[in-house]
Chains A and B, each alone.
Chain A
Amino acid sequence: MHSTDRKVVVTGVGATTPLGGDSPTTWQGLLAGRSAVRLLTHAWAAETPVRIGAEIAVEPTEHLSRTEARKLDRSTQFALIAAREAWADAGFTAPAGTDGSVDPDRLGVVISSAIGGVTSLLQQYDILRDQGVRKVSPHTIPMMLPNTQGANVGLDLNARAGVHSPVSACASGSESVGYAIDMIRTGRADIVVAGGTEAAIHPLNMAGFGNMMAMSKRNEDPAAASRPYDAARDGFVIGEGSGIVVLEAAEHAARRGARVYAEAVGQGLSADSHHVTQPEPTGRGIAAALTGLLDSCDLKPTEIVHVNAHATSTPKGDVAEVKALRKVLGDAMEHVAVSATKSMTGHLLGGAGGVETVATVLALHHRLAPPTINIDVLDPEVEADIVRDEPRALPDGPIAALNNSFGFGGHNVVLAFRTV
């Protein structure tokens, strides 16, 4: 009844990020080359060695009612806002099954984060310790479970084909989009709402990431702290937010006359099996994911003109990724415009793959690659054509772009999109 190799397209985008409360303002912020990194003003930030981050531009309480928000982890609030935007952007006005436009049994949701409902978990632990058992919220467990974001968006949209939350640290958002592509391709669903989210700007995470020396300590100059590919980069800057896309079987989108942003061509996956947090320095694992992508779908290296890199501004990771791209794409790398949007948004951890999927899709749709900011001196080991400071026009004709995401644990996810 359903084909096992159907074409998948993107018909809706949504985001709430440090650059803006929706996808248009986020996209404008990216094109403007605006850093969203600020000095954190929480009282606890005075105690932590890292005192900078990219906090959400529009607090979720601006979009959600108080009673809705109080049962949802902050990361779920972000995901719900971004998912509702993407759903409306795809042309839907009501949850599946309520207005006849979408069959709930053919709608899926795949949304995940790196750390789950960690803010709720820690808040409720504080309540347990300070006020006792009776005061712990009965909503604690559903708020902190790692599937909480997908589950709540699934409930909101009435998705019954399957709700999933594949977790792979900072690759989670992209792994979710890849899983969603397969759900449609293999006929399990006609529409899947997919992406990533994260809300982890909490002193425990700041202490943990800080003590492992993963984050930039450029507290004196927050806007310049996230500087992928710059010779003086010293670690990532934490961000928060969510990016969500609506993926749809091409024939389903055509039948309802939906606007199509891009084709979701496929994914490549691999694992480094090298170190629990360090990237494999030669980029072997990333290269395997890229090769897997090219082998598994109808995509030629010469079609690829843009990469939204994982590039978190860590000394080792940024170089390993470029090495892998060069190795697999070869001469085709000469016409690939590489952008590191984390230079502006910070690193949204599990949200990064979602937001960068939105950015990659919009880059193809507008044929405009967003810039990378804060490169004063390009690291000589970065042998790639980096889009610096200003957006760059992408060529006419059929073109493709990649979104790379990698996670602690050695997870490598590469997603490919193409103009339609």
Chain B
Amino acid sequence: MNAVQEEVLSGLATIVNEIAGVAPDEVLPDRSFADDLDVDSLSMVEVVVAAEERFGVTIPDEAAGRMKTVSDAIDYILANR
């Protein structure tokens, strides 16, 4: 993972910790939001809104629906900001 990806991962880890209480070091690229990180569908909306604000991107609902893993989110954010 390059430095830019690391930076987004770190930001997402902070967000997921705030919303779902998961320790930041457990937020890793291959982790599923729903299955591994205790982020249910309502909390995922909060993660998406927080990510939009933090990274200055717009994440439409369809794109958010395709974000199953942390790396899905990193890829989308880097491709769209």
Contact = CB atoms under 8 A, between A and B. Distances in A.
B45 A67 contact: no
Contacts of B77: none
A138 B42 contact: yes
Contact of A139 (B20, B21, B42, B52): B42
A139 B43 CA distance: 8
Contacts of B20: 67
Given A138-B42, A139-B42, A67 B49 contact: no
Nearest to A136: B49
B28 interface: no
| Size bracket, chain B contacts | under 10
A67 B19 contact: yes
Interface in A2-21: none
Contacts of A137: 46
A66 interface: yes
Contact of A66 (B21, B45, B49, B52): B21
A134 B21 CA distance: 22
Interface string B14-38: 0000011100000000000000000
Q: Which secondary structure dominates chain B's binding surface?
A: helix
A137 B21 CA distance: 17
A135 B49 contact: yes
Nearest to A142: B42
Nearest to B17: A67
A65 interface: yes
Contacts of A67: 19-21
B21 A138 contact: no
A50 B46 CA distance: 37
A134 B49 contact: yes
Interface string A55-80: 00000000001111011000000000
A216 to B, nearest CB: 40
Contacts of B46: 137-139
Nearest to A139: B42
Contacts of A139: 42, 46
A277 B42 CA distance: 38
A356 B43 CA distance: 36
Contacts of A68: 21
A72 to B, nearest CB: 13
A272 B49 CA distance: 49
A70 B42 CA distance: 12
A65 B20 CA distance: 10
A138 B45 contact: yes
Contacts of B52: 134
Interface string B40-67: 0011011001001000000000000000
A176 B22 CA distance: 36
B49 A65 contact: no
A68 B52 CA distance: 24
A135 B19 CA distance: 14
A142 to B, nearest CB: 8
Nearest to B42: A138
**Which of A65, A68, A71 counts the most B-chain CB atoms under 10 A from its CB?**
A71
A66 B42 CA distance: 17
Contacts of A138: 42-43, 45-46
Contacts of B42: 71, 138-139, 142
A138 to B, nearest CB: 4
A71 B49 CA distance: 16
Nearest to B49: A134
A68 B46 CA distance: 15
A68 B45 CA distance: 17
A117 to B, nearest CB: 15
A134 B57 CA distance: 14
Interface of B: 19-21, 42-43, 45-46, 49, 52
20 contacts: A65-B21, A66-B21, A67-B19, A67-B20, A67-B21, A68-B21, A70-B19, A71-B42, A71-B43, A134-B49, A134-B52, A135-B49, A137-B46, A138-B42, A138-B43, A138-B45, A138-B46, A139-B42, A139-B46, A142-B42
Given A67-B21, A68-B21, 12 more contacts: A66-B21, A67-B19, A67-B20, A71-B43, A134-B52, A137-B46, A138-B42, A138-B43, A138-B45, A138-B46, A139-B42, A142-B42
Report the 7 A-B pairs with minimum CB-CB distance, sorted nearest first.
Answer: A67-B21, A138-B45, A138-B42, A139-B42, A67-B20, A134-B49, A65-B21
